[in-house]
Structure 1
Amino acid sequence: MTGLHEELQWLKKVFDCEFQRMSVLGTSYLLANFTFSNRSVTIVALRQQEKGLTSSAITATKAMCLWRPKLAVMTGICAGVKGSVNLGDLVVATQFFEHSSGQLLHRGLIPLQNRVSPPPWVLDFLISLTDTTKLQELVRLGFGYSMPSEAEPRIHYGAMACGPQVIKDQSYIDMLKDNEISLLAIDMESYGLALASSMCSTYQRPVIPLVVMGVCDCADLEKTNDWHDYCSYSSAAFIRSVLEVAIGRDKICSWIKE
Structure 2
Amino acid sequence: MVKILVTEDNVAKLEEIINFLRSKNSGNLEILVATNLVEFSQKLGEDIDICIIDVRIPAYTGAEAEKNGLGIIQHLKSSPNPHIKLIAISSFPDEFEDIRSKFERNGCILANFHEKDVWQNALEILIMQSAANTKKDFLIFTALRKERAPYTSFPELNGKAVSSDGITRYDVEIGEKCGSVIELPRMGLVDAAVTAGKYIELYSPKLVAMSGICAGFDGKAEMGQLLVSELAYEYQSGKWSGDGFKSEPYQIPVSEGLRSKILHLIEEEGNVSNFEIGWNGNRPSTMSEPKMVTFTSGSAVIADAAHMDHVQQFHRRVSGLDMEIYAIHRAAHLSIYKPDVICAKVVVDLADKSKDDRIQEYGCFVSSRFIIKAIERYFQPNA
| Global fold match (TM > 0.5) | yes
* 8 Å Cα contact 2:151/2:368 also seen in 1: yes
Give the letter for the 2:255 counterpart: P
Question: 2:203 aligned with 1:72, yes or no?
Answer: no
SS at match of 1:179: coil
> Which of 212, 217, 220 is the aligned partner of 1:81?
217
TM-score, length-scaled by structure 1: 0.87
Question: 2:293 aligned with 1:158, yes or no?
Answer: yes
Question: 2:138 aligned with 1:7, yes or no?
Answer: no
CA displacement at 1:106 relative to structure 2: 4.9
> Which of 209, 220, 238 is the aligned partner of 2:370?
238
Instruction: Pick 1 or 2: higher relative contact order, CA cutoff 8 A, min separation 6.
Output: 1
Deviations 1:104-123 (A, max 9, x none): 24564332211111101111
SS at match of 1:76: strand
Aligned to 2:307: 172
Alignment of 1:190-209 (within 5 A): 190-201=325-336, 205-209=337-341
Larger Rg, first or second structure (1 or 2): 2
Alignment of 1:33-44 (within 5 A): 33-35=173-175, 40-44=176-180
Alignment of 1:177-188 (within 5 A): 177-188=312-323
* 8 Å Cα contact 2:305/2:351 also seen in 1: yes
Deviations 1:116-155 (A, max 9, x none): 1110111111111212553522113x14214344311321
Alignment of 1:98-109 (within 5 A): 98-106=234-242, 108-109=244-245
SS at match of 1:220: coil
* 8 Å Cα contact 1:213/1:231 also seen in 2: yes
CA displacement at 1:18 relative to structure 2: 2.3
* 8 Å Cα contact 2:281/2:362 also seen in 1: no
Q: More displaced, 10-19 or 53-62? A: 10-19
Aligned to 1:210: 342
CA displacement at 1:251 relative to structure 2: 4.0
Aligned to 1:250: 381
CA displacement at 1:162 relative to structure 2: 0.5
Distance 1:20 1:143, change over 3 A: closer
The aligned length equals: 243
* 8 Å Cα contact 1:98/1:111 also seen in 2: no
Give the letter for the 1:138 counterpart: N
Question: 2:270 aligned with 1:134, yes or no?
Answer: yes
Name the Cα RMSD after superposition: 1.8
Question: 2:164 aligned with 1:24, yes or no?
Answer: yes
TM-score, length-scaled by structure 2: 0.60
Distance 1:110 1:188, change over 3 A: same
CA displacement at 1:55 relative to structure 2: 0.2
Unaligned 5+ segments in structure 2 are 1-140
* 8 Å Cα contact 1:20/1:30 also seen in 2: yes
Q: How far apart, CA to CA, are the structure 1 residues paired with 2:285 and 2:306?
A: 29
Q: How far apart, CA to CA, are the structure 2 residues paired with 1:93 and 1:154?
A: 15
SS at match of 2:313: helix
Distance 1:95 1:118, change over 3 A: same
CA displacement at 1:250 relative to structure 2: 2.0
Identity, in percent, stands at: 21
Distance 1:223 1:2, change over 3 A: same
